[in-house]
Amino acid sequence: MKLILANPRGFCAGVYMAIDVVDQLLEICPGETVYVYHEIVHNRYVVERFRGRGVIFVETLSEVPASAIVVFSAHGVSPAVREEARLKSLISIDATCPLVTKVHAEAIRYARKGFQILLIGHASHQEVVGTRGEAPSSIQIVEHPKDIPHLSIIDPDKLVYLTQTTLSTDDANIVIHALKMAFPNIKEPPVSDICYATTNRQMAVRTIAPSCDLVLVVGSKNSSNSVRLTEISANVGTTARLIDDHTELCDAWFTGVNTVLVTAGASAPEDLVRDLVTCLVDRFGAEVEQHDVYHEDVEFGLPGTLKGLMRKRNVDPENRRVVRGDSGEALRDWLSQRGIGMRSVDLTVRGEPVHPEA
């Protein structure tokens, strides 16, 4: 069997930052309970590991005692939640991904200019709930083209669409096309709201999956961008399975399978990918290759709210941010210590991906 690892895969800059925020709080606030509003990122392992270190995850702020520390997750929250935290005198630390904050800012700006905003996304997802809360009377959610006839439009010339950051680019394009057909003068966001990490991970799957028999996506079922990777794979004709870890593998999936692509959603830890790789090598004697479609080097600094708390606790926030290394190189070293080789295949051309057969 050939085992291909997609690069990029796994943690994005926003997830690294959000996890780092909780790590830093546990370090600088020993003895204090750290509360996190919703899952810090949508991954079962990340959440369980923090629970094991005493972090309490809550679904409403009524579960948080007055004056306690509460972290807002990477998906962002609405202004109403921020205000509720203020009224309870909570110490709010905002781990919202800056790319989600950018969509919030666009929503506020267009609402102030009197635009109606059509937000393409999944209505119940935390990110969409938070963005919608910025201008609830101006925002309507569009999940699917069939929602368009039910929209309540005042002036079709004063419309803009925005999107959730973790959508399938394939699906989003279908909805955007339908919106443009229905409302030819609809404005677009200045830059795509679907973030770089979502776009790159999907492009890696779109590029590599056609030459594979099976795609394994490491990620949790409630992770939007992980589920979208399975959909992109299905769109190019390759069956994909979403698994939290290697223990969910099923022998029947591998009948007649010669080439497997392994990738991971933006909230899935790399150690789960490593365990999956060694499991597949042990079971099938797989040869390992990493196919590089993009080299990512995006990093986000610690949020200002955390830096402010650090200063109050006499901790210098400068240079506290953990710098991450290259995950491909780390995996190569890790596999080599176990006697497993890994070949790299460069599919990047001046930053643009190409198909292996091109």
Question: Any idea how long the chain is?
Answer: 358
Q: Which is nearer to ligand SF4, 159 or 218 (CB)?
A: 218
225 binds ligand SF4 (CB under 6 A): yes
99 binds ligand SF4 (CB under 6 A): yes
103 binds ligand SF4 (CB under 6 A): no
Minimum CB separation of residue 246 from ligand SF4 in Å reads: 23
Tokens of 129: 């709930």
CA distance 102 to 242: 29
126 binds ligand SF4 (CB under 6 A): no
Return the residue of 5, 6, 12, 205 that touches ligand SF4, per CB under 6 A.
12
Tokens of 13: 């800059």
- Nearest partner of 118 among 86, 101, 143, 95, judged by Cα: 143
Instruction: Write the binding mask 178 to 217 for ligand SF4: x where contact by CB under 6 A, - elsewhere.
Output: -----------------x-xx-------------------
Sign of CA dihedral 65, 68, 74, 78: positive
Return the residue of 162, 214, 266, 281 that touches ligand SF4, per CB under 6 A.
266
The answer to whether 301 and 78 have CB atoms below 8 angstroms apart is: no
14 binds ligand SF4 (CB under 6 A): yes
Using CB under 6 A as the binding rule, the residues of this chain from 55 to 74 that contact ligand SF4 are 74
Q: Which residue is nearest to ligand SF4 (CB)?
A: 14
By CB under 6 A, which span of 10-18, 256-264, 274-282, 285-293 interacts with ligand SF4? Answer: 10-18
Q: Which is nearer to ligand SF4, 5 or 97 (CB)?
A: 97
Catalytic residues: 127
Instruction: Establish how many alpha carbons lie within 13 A of residue 254's alpha carbon, considering only the half-sphere containing its beta carbon.
Output: 16
Minimum CB separation of residue 339 from ligand SF4 in Å reads: 34
By CB under 6 A, which span of 8-16, 212-220, 242-250, 270-278 interacts with ligand SF4? Answer: 8-16
By CB under 6 A, which span of 6-14, 79-87, 310-318, 326-334 interacts with ligand SF4? Answer: 6-14
100 binds ligand SF4 (CB under 6 A): yes
Minimum CB separation of residue 165 from ligand SF4 in Å reads: 4
Minimum CB separation of residue 304 from ligand SF4 in Å reads: 17
Give the 3-state secondary structure of residue 71. Answer: strand
Minimum CB separation of residue 49 from ligand SF4 in Å reads: 18
Place of tokens 């492009």: 203
Sign of CA dihedral 100, 106, 112, 117: negative
173 in the Ramachandran plot: left (φ > 0), alpha (ψ -120 to 50) or beta?
alpha
By CB under 6 A, which span of 97-105, 283-291, 313-321, 331-339 interacts with ligand SF4? Answer: 97-105
CA distance 342 to 331: 9
Tokens of 51: 């629970």
CA distance 197 to 293: 12
Q: Where are the beta strands (DSSP E) in 167-284?
A: 214-218, 240-243, 259-264
238 binds ligand SF4 (CB under 6 A): no
Give the DSSP letter of residue 51: H
Task: Pinpoint the alpha helices (H) of 53-161.
Answer: 79-87, 98-112, 126-132
By the criterion CB under 6 A, which residues form the site for ligand SF4? 12-15, 74, 97, 99-100, 165-166, 195, 197-198, 225, 266
